[in-house]
Each structure stands twice: as structure tokens, then as C-alpha cells.
Amino acid sequence: MTDSELHPYVELIAREARRSVVSDPAARARVMAAVRAEPVPRRLPIWLRAFQPRPIAMSPALGGLLAAGLVGLGVAVGNFALDRDVRNSDGQPVAVAPQQLPVSDTVFVFVAPQAGKVSLVGDFNDWDASKVPLVRVPNSGLWKVTVPLPAGRHLYQFVVDGNWLPDPGAPVAGDDGFGRTNSVRIVRTGSS
């Protein structure tokens, strides 16, 4: 394709690109004079240079070795600092009871006047419907159970005659990944 076949703007740009550049012969001298007029940066004392940021260049292999060494050092210090192997004066290991979280009696109530069986499932009983059955309050449609729960956030549902239902009187946590919506109960120490 020749220049005559191109668009007029392309021809104009090409013509400008081919034109020789004329520069001022004294421009270089002016730039160098301005550089020389700048003051020379003074060198910082050594105690201040120690705190100046500077790039560190290292090979990937050296970086990997350094990272592995730091991880190993962390593991060694962690094993030393967190050594929980308690021994008596004879050198025999002593059994240490695990620390227990404070537990609060938490009451769950569900209204189901026509239900034959209601149970509570949640992250506190491995979602097993046979572990926490609710008891019908006489002469009412209320079902009730008291469960000792540690302080924290607990997800749960009610199983009413085989149907899993969220608690209508509690906030929900959204889809649990199995197509169900769980209810949320926040238990504080001493709450019920």
C-alpha cells in the first residue's frame, strides 16, 4: 500500500514523522548548566543510613531457604514456648484436664399444636434429631427444651414430624449449603 492510497490524515501523520527534527544547539549546554547548579546531595551519617529503606536482591532459591529457615525457627520456638507436657518431680507425665468453656442453660421453644414429635438439631449436637427431643407443654401447642450451651454463636433448626424448619422467632444465618436456612442463637455467659 502506498501513501497515495491512504487516508489524508494518515498521509499528514506520515509526512510529519518523516520530517527532520531541528534542535537548538545550545539546549544541551543549558540543561547541563542547570544540572551543575543543583546542590550536591549530602551524605547522611551512618546511623541514619542504617534506617533508610533499600532494595534487597536475592535468588528464588535463597528466598526459599530463608523462608524455610524462618518457618523452622517458628516451629522450634513454638514447641519450646508451648510445651504442655507437664511432668512431676519423678519425670512422669501429669494429666491436665482440658479447659472448659462456661456453659449456660438455653431455652428453646417452638409452637406446633398439631405436631406429634419435635426435636432440636444444631451444631451443638452434630445435627442429630434423636439427641434433643422437645417436650410438649401440657394444654398448649408449645414444645420446650433446655439445653446447656457454651458461650458463642450456634446454628440450629427444629425437626417437626420429620420436616426441618428454622425457628420463626430467631434470626437466620442464610443457606447452609444443603438448601436449608439455619437459625442463629448467640449465647452469652449466664444467658438463657
Question: What's the rounded mean pLDDT across residues 148-171?
Answer: 90
In this structure, whether the domain defined by 103-187 belongs to CATH 2.60.40.10 is answered with yes
> Residue 110 in contact with residue 160, Cβ under 8 Å?
yes
Q: How far apart are the first and last CA of the chain?
A: 87
Residue 144 has which C-alpha cell?
420446650
- Does 95 have pLDDT greater than 70? no
Short-list 167, 156, 168, 169, CA closest to 129: 156
Q: Which position has the higher pLDDT, 117 or 169?
A: 117
- What's the confidence (pLDDT) of residue 130? 92
Question: What's the rounded mean pLDDT across residues 150-154?
Answer: 88
- What's the confidence (pLDDT) of residue 125? 92
Distance CA 152, CA 104 (A): 10
How many C-beta atoms lie closer than 10 Å to residue 185's C-beta?
A: 19
User: What rounded mean pLDDT belongs to the chain?
Assistant: 83
pTM higher than 0.75 for the full model?
Answer: no
Q: Which helix (H) or strand (E) holds 74?
A: helix 60-81
Question: What confidence tens digit (pLDDT) does each residue in 56-88 have?
Answer: 888 999 988 999 999 988 888 777 666 555 566
Q: Which position has the higher pLDDT, 169 or 86?
A: 169
Question: What's the rounded mean pLDDT across residues 108-129?
Answer: 92
Residue 152 has which C-alpha cell?
458463642
Q: Report the percent of the chain where pLDDT is more than 90.
A: 27
